[in-house]
Each structure stands twice: as C-alpha cells, then as structure tokens.
C-alpha cells in the first residue's frame, strides 16, 4: 500500500487533494498538520474522510514546518486520536507522553536528515518498546549500502516496520519496501511538492513502478548511474514488464564511483537479476565482471550486466544498437562485408558510447577519427583502437562522411548547445547524435537544416534498451511501446 503525504496551507486544499487522490486509487493518506496556516481544525479534516488517514505534525528539526510550540502540537496529536483517526505518527521522543486510546494505531517514528545511524537495530528495539503498532525509521542515505541495511531491518523485524532512506541514493528503499515486508511506503501528491528528499509521486509509484504488485517473488532490475534522476530507462523497462505481465521491477540506483564495488556485492543481497550501466560506470565496471562478451572486451566498456549463478556477465548493447541504427539509415544490408570502407567517421567524445561506436565503425571498415574536449581521453582511445585523433579545436577541419556526437552536449537541460557548428555540416554527411533527450537536439536540427541524413539518439536508446530487455528476460521487447513511452516522456518535459 502507498501512503500519500499531503501538505497544504489551507484546510480546503488539503481536503480537495484527499478526495482527488482517493479518486485516483489512493487507499491511505498522511495529513501533515504542520503545513496548515493558522489554527488547525481536526474535526473538519477528518469528517467524512474518503479513506483512512495518518495524522502527523512535524517539528522543524524533523523536517517539518511546525513552530507554534510543543504543547500545542501534542494537544493536536491527542485531539486526532480522540477523533478516532486510523493512524497517529508520534516521534520516538514524545511517544511516552501520548498514551494509546481507542482504535488508533501508533506509528512511532524517527528522522535523521543527515545520515543513516550505524546501529539501526538498537534504534529499532528502542522504538518498538514504545507501544508501537508500526515502527517508522526515515534517514538520509549517503552510501548505497544504507539501502541494504534499511531493507534488511524491515525484513528481520518482528513488528511491522517502514524503513526509508531519503535522498536520490535512497529511492530503492521506497520502491522495494513492500518486497521486504513494510506495511506501506510513502509518496507525494505532486513532484513539485515532495515533503521529503527523494520522495516519488503517487503516480510514479503506482503507474511506473506498480508498487502494489511488488511482492517477495518480484525480480529486481535497474540502472546504475550517478546521477540517475534523468534516466528514462525505468520508464521504458517497467512499461515493457507491465505490457508482458512480468513480475519484475526496474529501479534507479544512484551509485557514486567510490561505492561501485560495494554496490555490486550488495546486488546479491537485493537479488538483482540485471543492470543497465551508464555514466560514469561503463568502463570501471568491466574489471568487476566475471565474464564479458567480445564487444565488451574489444570496446573496454559495458552497459549491461546479468547476474547468474554467482557470475557477473557483461554485454554491450550500445554497440549493436548504434550499428543497427546507422545501417538502417544508410540502407546497408545486414551482414554486408566492410560496408563503410572508404568512409571517414568523426566521433565527438571518447567515453563509453564513443568507444562503442568507434569499435563498430572500425569493424565495418570506416576510417575513424576521434576527438574530445579532454585531449588525453581522445588520444588514449585512438591508441587503443589504432585510429586517428584530432584536437577538439580542429574538429571542423576533418573531412567526415559520418559525424557522431557521443558527448552529452545538447542534452536536457542544456538544449541550446551543440558540439559542432552548422556551417561545417555538408549535405552529404550522415549525422548521428547519441543524445536522446531531447530527441531533436540542436545538433540534429542544424543537420536537418543542412539536408544531412540524420539519426537521433532516441533510436539508438530504444534499440539498446530492447537488446537489454532480451538479455534480462529472454523475450522479445515490445519495441514500438518502448519508443512511444520515451517520446511521450520527452514531450512532457518543458524546455
């Protein structure tokens, strides 16, 4: 079950949101009394309520807005119990001051907006001793391993426990709480009104992650990146899982570079079956694999990991997706031998995607020139693949037949940037942008204006995701659905 938190300044707005949420399928809401301006009318808020309610009133030190005195706050909480509210949320330091009464269930809560304490078990034992029906611990995640500690606490607790790690790193605990036995998790009404760091919206939890369908048998997949909030991978993979009625969920994992090793170890405890890998981990993860396919070994970058029988199997679907996109746009028949012989390809960017595309173009006979704003990276790539290198400042002088942007330049929100000046584009060029959000980058728009043949990053993104889906599930991906989901998501972004 998902508890949706509502924090509004006026009673009528809070009540209207409550009614609207129930119409959208909400089964439980939290009314945050600390958000109400002026005097709080408990009777009005609870009269004719359309679904069960959690009442909370947070002090500023607990991440709330209450500043009208502690005695008045305690009186409000006691009044809510007297009115027969279904759940009352009491911080652990005041729980002893408010006795049980009637049928109201007691949530004993603890908040730490700076860290996740070392001894969660001792904290939990203390809270459970305060006549708790439910223990709620909400702490800041500074390390992805905090998620494992919190989810393990939920699973091992004899008393119903809600364990949440806040912040972007902690998002997996919000999505996977039910799988580990939490009675419910929390979401917000709207993304612009999140009441805690990392809180997802009710719509996201319900429609993207299908939270109420997650159970102990649900298989976990995800994308590992830093940052991860911009990724559209959860949208398309979860939509595909839903379409094929698969008991699987795809989760965003924000993992800083220094925590990658620990995270991969933790994947075993999370029962993660597969990962999409993106910036900044595509190259670093290669050394952590137990097996890698030929493309990963040749490129030195991996964007897909499968966990099977204790092994970490690495694949590179970027490479295949890029080449399939390019060959289709250029009308090259499948399995043609050296179809790009005599063509010169200029690749802007030498990260994981740039490596994958350079590898594919070289295998198809192209003369490849690489360049990057960080000169040493491009030189290293040119040396690795025994191809040519150009200084970034001289990129416009390369006589290219194929021009590839493998940098993040032009990606949302920097949509007015381009890595290559329009006046140097020729109508004979094939222009390929690996950036997919937005689909029509400035780079692509200017290439079209010069009558170049263009390939958008959306095509490559959907193809690589479809190849990942096949590796994850053994099933053919619903490609048209995935493409439609990405387009609708991009169109919803306000530039």
Do 97 and 71 meet the contact criterion of CB atoms below 8 Å apart? no
Alpha carbon distance 469, 446 (integer Å)? 33
The answer to whether the Cα torsion of 153, 156, 162, 168 is positive or negative is positive
Reported residue count of the chain is: 495
Active site residues: 111, 136, 282, 318
User: Among the residues of 351-401, which ranges form H helices?
Assistant: 352-363, 375-385
pLDDT of residue 493: 62
Q: Cβ neighbours of residue 415 under 8 Å, at least 6 residues apart?
A: 438, 441, 442, 495
Q: How far is CA 32 from the centre of its chain?
A: 27
| pLDDT value of residue 491 | 84
Distance of alpha carbon 55 from its chain centroid, rounded?
Answer: 30
Distance CA 135, CA 126 (A): 10
Q: Number of helices and strands (H, E) in the chain?
A: 16, 20
User: Which pair of structure tokens corresponds to residue 276?
Assistant: 């999409």
pLDDT tens track for 258-276: 999 999 999 988 999 999 9
Instruction: Indicate the helix (H) or strand (E) that contains 165.
Output: strand 161-166
Residue 57, Cβ neighbours under 10 Å: how many? 26
pLDDT recorded at residue 102: 95
- 419 contacts 443 by C-beta, under 8 angstroms: yes
Task: Select from 254, 438, 434 the least CA-distant residue to 347.
Answer: 434
Cβ atoms of residues 51 and 39 within 8 Å: no
CB contact set of 22 (below 8 Å; sequence gap of 6+): 29, 50, 51
Query: What pLDDT, on a 0 to 100 scale, did the predictor assign at position 198?
Result: 80
Pairwise CA distance, residues 23 & 336, whole Å = 56
User: From CA 11, how far away is CA 14, in angstroms rounded?
Assistant: 5
Distance from CA of residue 103 to its chain's centroid?
Answer: 39
H or E element in which residue 328 lies: helix 317-330
Residues of the chain with pLDDT under 50: 495
Residue 318 and residue 328: Cα distance in Å, rounded? 15
For residue 495, the model assigns a pLDDT of: 45
């Amino acid at each position: 079950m998902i508890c949706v938190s509502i924090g509004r300044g006026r009673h009528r707005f809070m009540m209207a949101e409550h009614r609207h949420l129930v119409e959208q399928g909400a089964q439980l809401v939290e009314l945050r009394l600390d958000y109400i301006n002026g005097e709080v009318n408990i009777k009005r808020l609870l009269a004719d309520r359309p679904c069960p309610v959690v009442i909370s009133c947070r002090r500023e030190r607990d991440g709330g807005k209450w500043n009208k005195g502690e005695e008045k706050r305690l009186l409000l909480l006691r009044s809510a119990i007297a009115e027969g509210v279904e759940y009352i949320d009491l911080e652990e330091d005041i729980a002893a001051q408010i006795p049980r009464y009637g049928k109201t269930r007691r949530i004993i809560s603890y908040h730490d907006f700076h860290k996740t304490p070392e001894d969660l078990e001792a904290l939990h034992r203390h809270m459970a001793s305060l006549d708790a029906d439910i223990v709620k611990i909400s702490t800041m995640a500074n390390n992805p391993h905090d998620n494992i500690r919190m989810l393990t606490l939920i699973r091992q607790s004899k008393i119903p426990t809600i364990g949440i790690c806040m912040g972007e790193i902690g998002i997996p605990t919000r999505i996977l709480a039910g799988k580990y036995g939490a009675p419910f998790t929390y979401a917000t009404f709207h993304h612009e009104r999140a009441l805690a760091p990392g809180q997802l919206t009710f719509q996201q939890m319900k429609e993207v992650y299908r939270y109420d369908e997650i159970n102990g048998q649900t298989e976990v997949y995800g994308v590992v990146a830093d940052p991860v909030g911009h990724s559209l991978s959860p949208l398309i993979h979860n939509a595909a899982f839903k379409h094929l009625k698969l008991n699987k969920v795809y989760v965003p994992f924000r993992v800083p570079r220094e925590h990658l090793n620990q995270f991969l170890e933790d994947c075993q405890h999370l029962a993660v079956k597969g990962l999409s890998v993106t910036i900044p981990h595509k190259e670093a993860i290669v050394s952590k694999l137990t097996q890698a396919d030929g493309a990963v070994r040749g490129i030195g970058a991996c964007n897909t990991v499968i966990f099977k029988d204790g092994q970490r199997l690495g694949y590179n679907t970027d490479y295949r997706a890029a080449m399939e996109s390019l060959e289709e746009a250029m009308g090259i028949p499948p399995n043609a031998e050296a179809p790009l012989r005599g063509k010169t390809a200029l690749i802007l960017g030498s990260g994981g995607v740039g490596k994958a595309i350079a590898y594919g173009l070289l295998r198809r006979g192209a003369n490849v020139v690489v360049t990057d704003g960080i000169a040493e990276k491009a030189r290293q790539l040119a040396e690795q693949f025994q191809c040519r290198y150009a200084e970034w400042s001289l990129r416009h002088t390369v006589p290219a037949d194929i021009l590839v942007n493998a940098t993040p330049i032009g990606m949302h929100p920097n949509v007015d940037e381009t890595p290559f000046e329009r006046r140097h584009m020729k109508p004979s060029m094939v222009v390929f942008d690996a950036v997919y959000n937005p689909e029509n980058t400035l780079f692509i728009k200017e290439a079209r204006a010069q009558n170049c043949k263009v390939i958008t990053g959306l095509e490559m993104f959907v193809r690589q995701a479809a190849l990942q889906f096949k590796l994850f599930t053994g099933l053919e991906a619903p490609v048209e659905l995935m493409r439609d989901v990405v387009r609708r998501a991009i169109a919803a972004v306000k530039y």
